[in-house]
A and B are shown apart, each in its own frame.
Chain A
Amino acid sequence: MADIRVEHLHKEFGTGVEKVVALDDVNLDVSGHVFVSVVGPSGCGKSTLLNVLTGIENPTRGKVEITHEGRDAFPGYVFQSPRLLPWRSVMDNLIFVHKDRSKETRERCRRYLGMVGLEDRGSKYPGELSGGMQQRVGIARAFSTEPDVLFMDEPFSHLDAITARSLRRELHDMWKATKKTVLFVTHDVGEAVELSNRIVVFAKGGTIKDDITVDLPFPRDPADQDVAIAKADVLRKFEELDLIAT
């Protein structure tokens, strides 16, 4: 579990006429065992937010802080594309993000490869796997570090519906069992409603437009009436908010 605190966060890229404002005065507090989805049209700064939170990018102004029991929290990150080292085997790709290379670590990596259904592909190179399999390796890699906080950037958007559905269920079980904090970027409202306690809505220009609480019991079946109604409610809200206007 972790505490995420974002205060008056601005992020700009470039200068002068080429300046792009990716995030504009973002304030966000996420605390404890919650699953937060971030939704919004493309180009509204969702990936940038995760990059700033994980330390890949520095904020232009403002403050971000991720702590776990008073110390810096260890993050896990599932990217939109797999981002695997093509010159290392699948297993070594997982081990790469671990500080200690002990037997327990190997064992744990193997277990998470099994979770995404790839236990027998550990010795393959990423290039020998399909795109969907590679993405699953990326997911196993992030899970295998058993992070305090897990960031996911549209992790299932390139997967087939069946695989995505089963991984969504795995993700939910893991979240429940390990009491992690998860920040999950998606453009799929159904997915957001199915998985999260909270949906943070971004609009073009990198501002937060809404913060919706989804108060339904887990596990949620997308076919359930309550879930379908909640999804329709969220979609209706999006229309009222007019997220694409700047």
Chain B
Amino acid sequence: MAKTLDASPDQLQKITHGQETRVAARKKRLRAVKRWGWRIAGYVFFLLLWDVASGTLMSDRLLVPPAGVAREIGEIFQSGDLWMHLSSTLQKIGIGFTLAFFLGTTIGLLTQSRWWEAFFKDWVTSTMTTPGLVYALVVGVIFGFSPIGPIVAIVFASFSYVTVNVAEGIRALPKDLIDMSKAFRVSPGSRLRNVIFPHLAPYLFTGVRYGFSIAWKVTVLTEVFASNKGIGFIMRVEFQLFSMAGLLAWISIFFILMLFLEKGILQFIEQRFFRWRQEVKLA
């Protein structure tokens, strides 16, 4: 206490500022721990519910209990099928969504001109509202078992999410900051890196996030109808064999993979990119 009394007003401000940040950081950590607790509780609850329901509400051959599904997952892991199907699906998504991203960005940039906007507008909207099933059926008929089918379906189903977000980001470009950099004679390259791109990044992220989740669904759907490889294909096989354990196992694998991509990769990148927002929120 004596120490704070001796401090000059300036130092005093620093001390309290430091304390505030520490208190805020501790609060934040506590909240994170609590959130994880609830999350785990959610898993435990639904797994238990599943376990209880299997054999009571439904026959355990129709609703295979979690342990049975886990055993099946183990077998899939050992068989080597997992990697073949997984890599096939991931490859299609990788190629398809990369194409969709660039196509979506290009159209998003073009639609800044009101003529191009008129040109594309209804197409963007209708590709967005068309159900994934429609793409799956159409490419199935046209491309058969070729991997081009799912890729085309992904591009059509997901590019518009990137387009819409890029267009919105560009409409909201920070003119005051761009003017500022012009006044200081900042080079166009540096302006792009330090002003335009950081501004657009959150819009791109939103576009990628939506587009990517749509791409997943469409890929699997397309594989169900027309493919001889991939997660969707193997789900259909299990379905035809009436193997509930297999079906549930593949659904679980799909679920885990999605969770990993979303929470593990996308969120990680996002947090690195937007550290400034976190810091500002803490302050």
Chain A contact residues, CB within 8 Å of chain B: 51, 54-56, 74-77, 79, 81, 83, 85-88, 96-97, 99, 120, 124-125, 127-128, 145, 151
Contact = CB atoms under 8 A, between A and B. Distances in A.
Given A127-B283, A128-B283, A87 B182 contact: no
Contacts of A124: 279, 283
B123 interface: no
B145 to A, nearest CB: 47
Given A54-B183, A77-B180, 19 more contacts: A54-B182, A74-B185, A75-B184, A75-B185, A83-B177, A85-B194, A85-B195, A87-B198, A96-B190, A96-B194, A97-B181, A97-B184, A97-B186, A127-B276, A127-B280, A127-B283, A128-B283, A145-B184, A151-B183
Contacts of A120: 14
B94 to A, nearest CB: 29
B179 A87 contact: no
10 contacts: A51-B179, A55-B182, A56-B183, A74-B185, A88-B198, A97-B181, A97-B184, A99-B187, A124-B279, A128-B283
A128 B180 CA distance: 21
B257 to A, nearest CB: 31
Interface residues on B, range: 20 to 34
Nearest to A50: B183
Contacts of A85: 177, 194-195, 198
B198 to A, nearest CB: 4
Nearest to B193: A96
Contacts of A83: 176-177, 179-180
Nearest to A95: B194
Given A85-B177, A87-B276, A128-B283, A75 B183 contact: yes
Contacts of A76: 184
Contacts of A77: 180, 183-184
Interface of B: 14, 176-177, 179-187, 190, 194-195, 198, 274, 276, 279-280, 283
CB-CB nearest 5 A-B residue pairs: A127-B280, A128-B283, A97-B184, A54-B183, A77-B183
Contacts of A125: 276, 279-280, 283
B182 A56 contact: yes
B34 to A, nearest CB: 25
A124 B274 CA distance: 14
Nearest to A75: B183
Contacts of B274: 87
Nearest to A125: B276
Nearest to A76: B184
B183 A128 contact: no
B52 to A, nearest CB: 49
Contacts of A145: 184
A96 B184 CA distance: 9
Nearest to B182: A56
Nearest to B194: A96
Contacts of B183: 54-56, 75, 77, 151
Contacts of B198: 85, 87-88
B161 to A, nearest CB: 23
A55 B184 CA distance: 10
Contacts of A151: 183
Contacts of A96: 181, 186, 190, 194
A83 B179 CA distance: 9
A77 B185 CA distance: 11
